Structure 1
C-alpha cells in the first residue's frame, strides 16, 4: 500500500506539473496574443502627429488586418469608389497608413486614429493636381460620420463572419501571412468579438440617425463624449460643427478654446480630444499627447500661396484695424474671448449641445488620475477667433455654413442657401474652396442651410462696407 501510495503521489505530482505548465503556457500565449503592448515611436514630431498613438487602439481600435480589408469586402457601404479615400482619408506617398491613423500591437496589430485625421487640411489649384497637405489645418474633406456609418453597416451585414473576412478573394488570408495559430484566433475569437463590439458601437451611435448629416469637414465632437463616455442620457441636441485648425497654439495662449470656449487649457483640450478619439482613462497616452501639444504650439499658420495685391492689402489693413481688429487681431481686446450668442447671432445649436451637466460629469470622470479637467466650463456664446491662416479655414462660421469670405461679407439673406462642401480645389478670388458646379457637386456634400444647426445667419460685421472696402479687406485677410 505504501509503494502504491508513493507511485500514486508521484504520478499526481507529475500530472499537476503538466497541468501547471499547460495553464502557464496558455496564460503566456493569451498574454502575448491579446495583451502584450509594443510601444510605437516616431522621432519626427510631424510623423508622431500624423501616425503616433494617443491611446485610441485599445477600446475603439479595429484589428488592423480586418480594418485593411473591410473596404474591399463591403464597398457598397462607402460613399463611392476608392475605398477609404472616398471618405476624404488621404495617404502620403510611401506610407503604410493614411494620415491620421495609427497602428499599434496590443497582442495583435490594431488600428487607431490620431488628431491628424480631423486636423490635416488639403488644397489643390486644379482638379488635376495632387493635394498639398497642411498638417494641423482643419480638414475640409474627412467624413467622420461616413466612416462611423461604414463600420456600423459592415458589422450589420450577414457576411460579416470569419469565413468571409478570412477566406474570400479580398479577405485577410490574401493580404496577410498569418500563422495557423493566428488564423484560428481570428476565426474563433478576434472576428466574433470585433463583430460584437461593432454592433455595440452601432447602437451607441444610433443617435446620429435622427439628426442632419454632418458631411465632410464637420464633426459632432461632444455628443459622443456625453453619450458614450460620460453616460449622460441621449438628448435632442445637435453639435455639428466645422473642424478647427490647431496651428500656432503658442500665440493663442490664454484664448478660449473650441468654438464655444468650453476650455481654456490646451493641455486639457488635447487630453479631451484623445478621449473623444477612442482612448480610455487607462489607455490614454499622456506622454504621446504631450508631444502633440508641443508640436501644435510651434507649427506656424500656412502662408497664402497665391499672388497678393500688396497696395490693395495695405488699404485693407486700415479697414481691418477699424472694423475687425478688436475681435480678431492678436492683442485685440476681445480676441479669444466668448462673445454672447445674442450679439453674434449665429446658429446656437452647437452652443446648446454642451451643458453644465456634461461639465460636471467630465470633471468627475478625471478624478483619481494624474491628469484632471479643472478648466472645462459652460459658456453662453462663441469665441472671437484670431484669423491666422484664415484663407484655409473655408467654409466659414462655426458650423461651416458660409462657403467663402466673399459670401461671408454679404448680408445673411444674400448668402448661399445651398452649396457643396468637401471639394478641395481652391478659389483665390472668392477665398474659399469651390462649392458650386459639376465637379464640386460630384465630389462634395450638399449643404442645406435650412436644416437644424446649419443656419448661415449672424456675424453681420463688415456686411455694410462698400464693395471696394470689402475687396480691400479680403485682400488683407489673405496675408494673415
Structure 2
C-alpha cells in the first residue's frame, strides 16, 4: 500500500508557503489599517503645524476622510445653515481642503481629526462684506464645537448612514479603488457609525445642560467622562474659549493657567489639552507638542491699531485710570495678575451690590465644575509614561488674567456673558441681558463683535444671561467711573 502522506520535504514547502501567506496577510492588514507615515503638511513651519498638524486625535476619534467629506452634503439638515461645515463657524483659508483646526493623517487610511487651533483661532471682519481675517491663538469666537459633535452623532443615527449611500456620495467626488471600496463598505463605514453612536452616549450628559453655543466649550467635563472616569454630576462648565498668545511672560511671572487656574505648568496644559481633544496617551506626539509650546510662547497678541484707529490723546488720559483701577490685577506685571481669586477674597469685595444687598459675584459654575476628585484623577492619569501630571488642582475661583489683545477677546468674562467692553464698565443690571454670539463683524466703538440685529440672530447662538452658567454678574471694577472716564479707559484698553 502506498503512503499518501506528504514527505518531510513537502511538509516544509507547504509550511513555508503558509508562513509567506500569513506574513503577506499580516502585512496587508498592517498597511491597510495601522501604518503611520509622517504627516505631510504644506511646509515645515510651526504655524502650519498649529493650523493643520496632528496632535494625535486621529487614532481614537479620527473619521475616515472620505466619510467626513461627504457627510455635510448627505445630512445638511443637521447643520445650522447652508455652507457645509463653514456654517458651524470654522475658519477656512482659501484653497485649503480642511478648515483651520482640522488635521488629516494616514493611520492605515486617511483620517481627519481636530487640533488646538479649532478652539484657538479667531476670525474678524471689518464690514459684513469683507473676507474674514484669521488670528491664530485667539479665542474661537465663531466655532460651535458641540454643534459639530451633534452633527456627527445625528448623521450616524440616521438610517441613511450606510455603506451604499455613503459610497454613492463618495463616488460623486472621487473614484475609490476596488480595495478601498471594499474597505469602506465592510469595515470603515460600519465601524465609524458604531464609534460615533458610542461617542454620542458618552456625550449624552450635555443634553441636560445649556448648549455651549458659538465660541464656548465645556472644556473639562468631557475629560472627566471620557478619560478620567469621573462623574460630571450636575456641574456646568460652559466657558469662553481663551486666547493663548504671549505665554512666555505668563510663564515667567508664574501665572496660573485656564480660567480657574487649575494648573500652573504650561507643558502639562499643552499635553492635557491634546488629551482633552481626544488624544490617547499612547498616541500623544510629545516632541511635536513641545515644539508647539515653544512657538506659542513667542506668539504675540494682535494689535487693535492694525485694523482700527485709536484716539491717542484719549488713550493717554485713560492710562492713569487703568493703573489705578485695573493694573494690580490685570497688567502683565501686576502683583495679583495671574493669581486665583476666590469669591471670599477681600479683593473681590468691590463697591456695588445687587438689589438684595449681596455682592455681585461672577458666575461660579465653571470654577465649581473642576473638583478635587477631578484634579487627583488627572494627576494620576499619566502613570507609566515618560511624561506625567503633577500640578492639577481645584481652586474654587478664577484667575486675574492679563489683558493683552483684550479687544479681540470679546465677549467678556470667563463665560463670555458680556458682549462689549463698554458693557463691562456698566453695572450688571445695565449690561446686555440677551444677545447673539458668533457673528465676526467688529464694532470698534463698543469694542466687541456685533451681537444684535438680523445678521447676528441668523448666524449666531442666542445667549441669555438668565440661563444657568450664563450670569453676567460680577466684575464691578470701573463701573463707578464717570462717562468721560469710561471713554478714556476703553480707548486705552484698545492699545493693550
| TM-score, normalising length: structure 1 | 0.97
Aligned to 1:459: 475
Q: Render the CA deviation track for 1:21-74: whole Å, top value 9, x for unaligned.
A: 222211110000000001115411110100111111100111111111110111
Are residue 413 (structure 1) and residue 429 (structure 2) matched? yes
**Alignment partner for residue 333 of structure 1, among 335, 341, 346?**
335
Aligned to 1:154: 155
**Alignment partner for residue 397 of structure 2, among 377, 381, 405?**
381
Query: Aligned partners of 2:186 and 2:341: how far apart in 1?
Result: 56
Aligned to 1:259: 259
Deviation, 1:8, is 4.8
Deviation, 1:20, is 2.2
Query: Aligned partners of 2:179 and 2:340: how far apart in 1?
Result: 57
Query: Aligned partners of 2:184 and 2:4: how far apart in 1?
Result: 47
Residues 114 and 306 (structure 1), Cα distance of their counterparts in 2 relative to 1, 3 Å cut: same
> Secondary structure of the equivalent of 2:481?
coil
Q: Would the aligned equivalents of 2:91 and 2:134 in 1 still touch at CA under 8 Å?
A: no
Q: Would the aligned equivalents of 1:88 and 1:143 in 2 still touch at CA under 8 Å?
A: yes
**Alignment partner for residue 452 of structure 2, among 425, 432, 436?**
436
Query: Aligned partners of 2:258 and 2:2: how far apart in 1?
Result: 80
Query: Aligned partners of 2:468 and 2:128: how far apart in 1?
Result: 32
Aligned to 2:293: 293
Deviation, 1:9, is 4.2
> Secondary structure of the equivalent of 2:479?
coil
| TM-score, normalising length: structure 2 | 0.94
> Secondary structure of the equivalent of 1:282?
helix
| Structure 1: gaps spanning 5 or more residues | none
> Secondary structure of the equivalent of 1:463?
coil
Deviation, 1:184, is 0.4
Aligned to 2:16: 17
Q: Would the aligned equivalents of 1:391 and 1:431 in 2 still touch at CA under 8 Å?
A: yes
Q: Render the CA deviation track for 1:401-445: whole Å, top value 9, x for unaligned.
A: 000011000100111110011000000110000001111111111
Are residue 367 (structure 1) and residue 350 (structure 2) matched? no
Are residue 322 (structure 1) and residue 324 (structure 2) matched? yes
Query: Aligned partners of 1:322 and 1:39: how far apart in 2?
Result: 53
Aligned to 1:476: 492
Deviation, 1:468, is 0.7
**Alignment partner for residue 313 of structure 2, among 307, 311, 314?**
311
Q: Render the CA deviation track for 1:227-247: whole Å, top value 9, x for unaligned.
A: 111111241100000000011
Query: Aligned partners of 1:341 and 1:431: how far apart in 2?
Result: 28
Query: Aligned partners of 1:4 and 1:417: how far apart in 2?
Result: 91
Q: Would the aligned equivalents of 1:49 and 1:295 in 2 still touch at CA under 8 Å?
A: no
Deviation, 1:159, is 1.0
Query: Aligned partners of 1:364 and 1:429: how far apart in 2?
Result: 48
Aligned to 2:39: 40
Aligned to 1:110: 111
Aligned to 2:237: 239
Q: Would the aligned equivalents of 1:52 and 1:288 in 2 still touch at CA under 8 Å?
A: no
Deviation, 1:201, is 0.5
Q: Would the aligned equivalents of 1:335 and 1:386 in 2 still touch at CA under 8 Å?
A: yes
Deviation, 1:179, is 1.1
* Count of residue pairs the alignment pairs up: 476
**Mean Cα displacement is larger for which, 237-246 or 336-345?**
336-345
Query: Aligned partners of 1:10 and 1:79: how far apart in 2?
Result: 69
Query: Aligned partners of 2:438 and 2:105: how far apart in 1?
Result: 30
Deviation, 1:16, is 2.9
Q: Render the CA deviation track for 1:91-112: whole Å, top value 9, x for unaligned.
A: 1112122100001000000011
Question: Which residues of 2 match residues 54-93 of structure 1 at below 5 A?
Answer: 54-93=55-94
Query: Aligned partners of 1:367 and 1:8: how far apart in 2?
Result: 55
| Structure 2: gaps spanning 5 or more residues | 349-360
> Secondary structure of the equivalent of 2:250?
coil
Instruction: Output the aligned Cα RMSD.
Output: 1.2
Query: Aligned partners of 1:246 and 1:58: how far apart in 2?
Result: 26
Query: Aligned partners of 2:377 and 2:89: how far apart in 1?
Result: 33
**Mean Cα displacement is larger for which, 39-48 or 52-61?**
39-48
Aligned to 1:272: 272
Query: Aligned partners of 2:273 and 2:179: how far apart in 1?
Result: 37
**Alignment partner for residue 353 of structure 1, among 369, 375, 389?**
369
Deviation, 1:139, is 1.1
> Secondary structure of the equivalent of 2:248?
coil
> Secondary structure of the equivalent of 2:458?
helix
